[in-house]
Structure 1
Amino acid sequence: MPKISEIEPTPNPNAMKFILREPLTWGITRSYDNAEAAQADELASTLFGIDHVTNVFYVDHWITVTQDGGADWQELMRKLAAPIRDAPAADAHSEQMAAQSTAALSSENLSETDRARLAKINDILDEQVRPYLQGDGGDLYVIGLEGNLLSVHYQGACGSCPSSISGTLAGIENLVRQIEPDLEVIAV
């Protein structure tokens, strides 16, 4: 059972990041925008059962919970703490799932050229974007690459943060255009 080490605000005033002493997963991100999507995830489902919760995102040693703006954070954090502490810590099964997820991405129906392009894009995102997003309680993953269109999806606090759709997205587009000048980036 993970113990909460710290609770940090994020740039999104409606999201709070809980830093844990033990991991919930080994590299597998879990992101849910509603209770229906979280039905198969016991932790996320329990958190959505708490009034005002609108998004749950977690990976490794942290979890970000977003609310609708109608709750007092002090009261809401007390309600969120118990299910987070009661959640099972990551185990070997999570590690196996991470390996399967990575294998599925590399065997995606992309040409060799597009796989190489995607690898370069992910390298630059891993180095210069994801650490900052994760530091603020969110993350980003690439959904697709079709021609000159790169589709990305924000997770956690970044998913509903106004700056992610404007400033951060423009910054990502400028960054990947260093590799491919004609690349357009959209958030989905």
Structure 2
Amino acid sequence: MPKIADIEDTPNPNAKKFVLREPLTWGISHSYETTEQAQGDTLASALFAIAHVTNVFYVDRWLTVTQDGQTDWDKLMRDIAVPVRAAPAAAEQSAAAVFSARTSVADLSAEDQQRLDDIELVLDREIRPYLQSDGGDLHVLSLAGNQLVVHYQGACGTCPSAISGTLQGIQSRLRTLEPDLEVIAA
């Protein structure tokens, strides 16, 4: 059962990042924006059952919970701790299982797949570590022509700076690969 090692603030005042001693997953992220999306995930469903919880995101040894801004964090954190402590730690998973669980963009030409691979490499090395340190992440939804559509997860999903400044920073960095690339948050 995961124990909470630390609770960190994020740039989003409505989100907290819970750092855990044991992993909940091995490289597979879980992101839920509604109770309906969380059906079938015991931990996420238990967290959404807590009043004011609006978003749940977890991967490996951390969990980010976002609230609606209508309650005190001290009380909410105590309520969140109960299902987190009851959740099972991740079972060992093979690298193949983790790889197959990653959602990829389908139906790309060989050239566009290479473009996406290059973009994902930059995201993995230079962008995601910063987003993850703040309790969030991003997922690529599509690459069509010069448009890359991404979806923010966790604390980044409702953070005002993610939609403006962070998105511009990501676009600026990716434009060093492709000068005409437009990054859109969905």
TM-score range, shorter chain: over 0.9
Q: Distance in 2 between matches of 1:56 and 1:94?
A: 25
State whether residues 56 and 66 of structure 1, in contact with CA within 8 Å, keep that contact through their aligned partners in structure 2: yes
Q: Distance in 2 between matches of 1:145 and 1:124?
A: 15
Could you tell me which runs of 5 or more consecutive residues in structure 2 were left unpaired when the two chains were aligned. none
State whether residues 12 and 161 of structure 1, in contact with CA within 8 Å, keep that contact through their aligned partners in structure 2: yes
| Structure 1 SS opposite 2:88 | coil
Corresponding residue number in structure 1 for 2:84: 84
Corresponding residue number in structure 2 for 1:105: 104
Question: What are the within-5 Å matches in structure 2 for residues 6-45 of structure 1?
Answer: 6-45=6-45
- Letter in structure 1 aligned against 2:116: L
Could you tell me which runs of 5 or more consecutive residues in structure 1 were left unpaired when the two chains were aligned. none
| Structure 2 SS opposite 1:105 | coil
Q: CA RMSD in A?
A: 1.4
Corresponding residue number in structure 2 for 1:175: 173
State whether residues 27 and 95 of structure 1, in contact with CA within 8 Å, keep that contact through their aligned partners in structure 2: no
State whether residues 28 and 97 of structure 1, in contact with CA within 8 Å, keep that contact through their aligned partners in structure 2: no
Q: CA deviation at 1:93?
A: 4.8
Q: Distance in 1 between matches of 2:61 and 2:120?
A: 22
- Letter in structure 2 aligned against 1:31: S
Corresponding residue number in structure 2 for 1:51: 51
Corresponding residue number in structure 2 for 1:68: 68
State whether residues 20 and 62 of structure 1, in contact with CA within 8 Å, keep that contact through their aligned partners in structure 2: yes
| Structure 2 SS opposite 1:178 | coil
Q: Distance in 1 between matches of 2:129 and 2:175?
A: 19
| Structure 1 SS opposite 2:177 | coil
| Structure 2 SS opposite 1:7 | strand
Q: CA deviation at 1:105?
A: 2.6
Q: Distance in 2 between matches of 1:93 and 1:171?
A: 34
Q: Distance in 1 between matches of 2:6 and 2:24?
A: 15
Q: 1:32 to 1:131 in 2, by over 3 A?
A: same
- Among the aligned pairs, what percent are the same residue? 61
State whether residues 25 and 94 of structure 1, in contact with CA within 8 Å, keep that contact through their aligned partners in structure 2: no
| Structure 1 SS opposite 2:70 | coil
- Letter in structure 2 aligned against 1:160: T
> Normalized against structure 2, the TM-score is what?
0.96
Q: CA deviation at 1:95?
A: 5.5
Q: Distance in 2 between matches of 1:92 and 1:175?
A: 35
Corresponding residue number in structure 1 for 2:149: 151
Number of residue equivalences: 186
